């Protein structure tokens, strides 16, 4: 790989943009197969899943024979705030635009870490009587799971580090990096 100057605060690239794109193409293939003849609603979880939702939606549109009726919606929740550890309490920041009753819904997340966020979303959206509810998560970080949650489509295993980039932030920074990176330890509080 060519030498690349990294932004201040970034120690190393853990997953490059091509690796992420490959994982998203594979997830899109799996979802396309399962929803080939079903209308599908992708619910992206803001802010972290902004890029994975956009890229997965477009990858899905490129799968031959995949679903042709795909709608996009978003929900915003937060539990990390400005910290690098979860508060454990998930806060609904903004609900979906449309009702999901009777819809075939796939929640799209950037990462599952302790599991509280996806557990909260599955419970809340599951209560609204969707026709089906599944979850697609780009990064599985399984080391500190506090609650068991089903993930139906997984992209990549995330190293046991606090990661940023490709939608993931620390104190709202680094989301726009096109790769997944490890922060320099001195950036994080001890």
Give me the residues that bind ligand PRP (CB under 6 A), please: 45, 47-48, 78-80, 86, 109-117, 169
- Binding residues vs ligand HPA (CB under 6 A): 80, 111, 113, 162-164, 168
Among 27, 31, 48, 106, binds Mg ion (CB under 5 A): 48
115 binds, among ligand PRP, Mg ion, ligand HPA, none (CB under 5 to 8 A by kind): ligand PRP
CB 35 within 8 A of CB 104: yes
**Is 113 part of the annotated catalytic residue set?**
yes
Nearest to 174 by CA among 4, 2, 9: 9
162 binds, among ligand HPA, ligand PRP, Mg ion, none (CB under 5 to 8 A by kind): ligand HPA
79 binds, among Mg ion, ligand HPA, ligand PRP, none (CB under 5 to 8 A by kind): ligand PRP
Q: In what order do the strands lie in the sheet with 153-157?
A: 91-94, 70-78, 40-46, 104-112, 132-140, 153-157
CA 157/CA 1 separation, integer angstroms: 22
Q: At what angle do helices 50-61 and 17-34 cross, to 10 degrees?
A: 60
**Cβ at position 69, least distance to Mg ion in Å:** 26
């Amino acid at each position: 790989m060519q030498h690349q100057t990294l932004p201040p605060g970034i120690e190393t690239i853990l997953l490059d943009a091509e690796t992420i794109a490959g994982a998203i193409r594979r997830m899109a293939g799996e979802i396309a197969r399962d929803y080939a003849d079903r209308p599908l609603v992708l619910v992206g979880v803001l802010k972290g899943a902004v890029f994975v939702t956009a890229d997965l939606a477009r990858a899905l549109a490129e799968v031959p024979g995949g679903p042709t009726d795909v709608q996009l919606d978003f929900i915003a929740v937060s539990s990390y705030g400005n910290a690098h550890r979860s508060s454990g309490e998930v806060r609904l920041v903004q609900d979906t635009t449309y009702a999901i009753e009777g819809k075939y819904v796939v929640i799209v997340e950037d990462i599952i870490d302790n599991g509280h966020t996806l557990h909260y979303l599955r419970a809340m959206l599951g209560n609204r009587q969707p026709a089906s509810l599944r979850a697609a998560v780009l990064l599985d970080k399984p080391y500190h799971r506090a609650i068991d949650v089903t993930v139906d489509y997984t992209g990549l295993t995330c190293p046991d580090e606090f990661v940023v980039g490709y939608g993931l932030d620390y104190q709202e920074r680094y989301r726009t990096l096109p790769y997944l990176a490890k922060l320099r330890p001195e950036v994080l509080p001890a």
